Amino acid sequence: VNDNPSHYRITLSGTVKSPKIKFDPVILMLMPVPLGMKTETAINIIPQDYLRQSRIQIELPELELEDGDRIYPFSVQFPEGQDIVVSSDGTNIERICNIGFSSSRPVSFLGNIFFIDEEEN
């Protein structure tokens, strides 16, 4: 630099980590309850490798009953908010999610509830 013919070589290396979300428990089983009653449980959402704040979105399943009617019996609440937060030391803060189920008609379900971040992971 500055008309100095010396050459400088810089070598960089790194690892790319994709952000991901883990759950505790991994499988959710809600107890059967009488019709019209709500059953609910809490799960821990454990974000990992998020470098900046993101927001969790949820896709809840729609259930089709035997007569063709469609219902949305699931509900989700985040008591501490839906934002994935990066703490001052660079770690991600766990979130609690309450998942509820209530139906006025008999129904059973085995399927997925999708948790998606702002980048659709």
Query: Tokens 């997925």 — which residue?
Result: 112
pLDDT digits (tens, 9 = 90+) for 55-111: 999 999 999 888 999 999 999 999 999 999 888 888 899 999 999 999 999 888 888
Buried b / exposed e over 62-82, threshold 16 CB at 10 Å, is ebeeeeeeeeebbeeeeeeeb
User: Residue 34, preceding bond cis, omega within 30 degrees?
Assistant: no
pLDDT digits (tens, 9 = 90+) for 65-79: 889 999 999 999 999
Report the mean per-residue pLDDT for the chain: 89
Domains in the chain (CATH in brackets) are 20-116 (2.60.40)
